[in-house]
Amino acid sequence: MAETVQRPVAGIMWMVVTGLCFVMVTALVKSLGSDMPAAESAFLRYFLGLVFLLPVWRQLTALRLTRWQWALFGLRGVLHTLGVVLWFFAMTRLPLAEVTAMNYLTPVYVTLLAVVVLGERLAFRRILAICAALVGAFMILRPGFRELDSGHFAMLGTALLFSGSYLIAKITSDEVSAVIVVALLSVTVTIGLAPFALLHWVTPGPGNLAVLFGVACFATAGHYTMTLAFAAAPVSVTQPVTFLQLVWSVLLGWVFFAEPADMWVIAGGSVILASISFISWREAQLKRRMITPPSPATKV
């Protein structure tokens, strides 16, 4: 733990790289547009990403799980599958910055689900932080002041489904290694997405396949650099750095997709991220088991 505290600069730098990787994931998916159905794009992203499981294939084949563990991993696969489909759909409908900002809601949902599922207690300060995050969400959506798109509802559903997936990951990580938890998610989501993809299959071109393999590469790299960031510094230090993802999303959306910067989206995302950072800081100060995830931990 002492070593972690002594390397905050390394942790921040690794988190900067993590943010760049996940922004590239979002931008690449956005570049696909509506060339392929969302479910097929999601399936190919995970199917192509299975190549990164080859080093742990022997561990997977030798794995022995209880019925309860299989049920948890199966449920996580279902939740994450639906969340991924909704996320890919939202990417075809919303600007990059809005998707990034609304992704920040997932850790807030996790905190609320932990109260219901794990019996976590919410102190007054955490309640205020959650209320602030919800205010941030209203700033982004502005219901009544503009027409909401189906992509907005898809992102709300994505955040909720990913929060359930993450909470199950926290439960299973006490019993199974982190490598296996990630590997089983990749396998179950690939299987779960296959029927949705086959319903409206469109033969992908080489360009689309290359883009989706790039998505898989950046997503894998992002999760790896994120673990390096957490090994170097506590979450309370690295969490605020994820604000840069919103900055880069605004710039990429403006430069490559002609999406004007929306100050309400930037402000709302900032409020949500500040709330998450406060909750993470409080958990670290109280030396409690970290429940609220860093926002990059819930990416596809």
- Residue 6 is predicted with a pLDDT of 53
Q: How far is CA 78 from the centre of its chain?
A: 16
For residue 4, the model assigns a pLDDT of 41
In sequence order, which residues have a C-beta less than 8 Å from that of residue 109 and are 6 or more positions away? Answer: 159, 160, 162, 163
User: The tokens of 174 are what?
Assistant: 């006490």
d(CA 257, CA 54): 36
The domain limits of the chain are: 2-298
Q: What b/e string do you get for 144-179 counting C-beta neighbours within 10 Å, with b at 16 or more?
A: eeeeeeebbebbbbbbbbbbbbbbbbbebeeebeee
Residue 248 burial by Cβ neighbours in a 10 Å radius (0-12, 13-18, 19+): buried
Angle at 66 between CA 63 and CA 72, to 5 degrees: 95
Q: Which residues contact 244 (CB under 8 A, 6 or more apart)?
A: 16, 19
In the chain, beta strands by DSSP E: none
The pLDDT of residue 2 is 43
Q: Is 96 left (phi over 0), alpha (psi -120 to 50) or beta?
A: alpha
Q: What pLDDT, on a 0 to 100 scale, did the predictor assign at position 224?
A: 86
Q: Provide the residue-wise pLDDT of the chain in tens; the chain has 300 residues.
A: 444 445 788 888 998 999 999 999 999 999 988 778 999 999 999 999 999 888 888 888 888 889 999 999 999 999 999 999 999 999 999 999 999 999 999 988 988 888 888 787 878 888 899 999 999 999 999 988 888 999 999 999 999 999 999 989 888 887 888 788 888 999 999 999 999 999 989 999 999 999 999 999 999 898 888 878 877 877 777 878 888 899 999 999 999 999 998 999 999 999 999 998 888 887 777 666 666 776 676 677
Alpha carbons 18 and 22: distance in angstroms, whole number: 6
- For residue 187, give every residue at least 6 positions away whose Cβ sits within 8 Å of its Cβ, in sequence order, or none: 50, 53, 60, 77
As a whole number of angstroms, the distance between CA 6 and CA 154 comes to: 41
The vertex-233 CA angle with 229 and 235, nearest 5°, equals 85
Which residue in 7, 44, 17, 20 sits closest to 216, CA to CA?
44
3-class DSSP state for residue 176? coil
Enumerate the β-bridge partners of residue 299: none
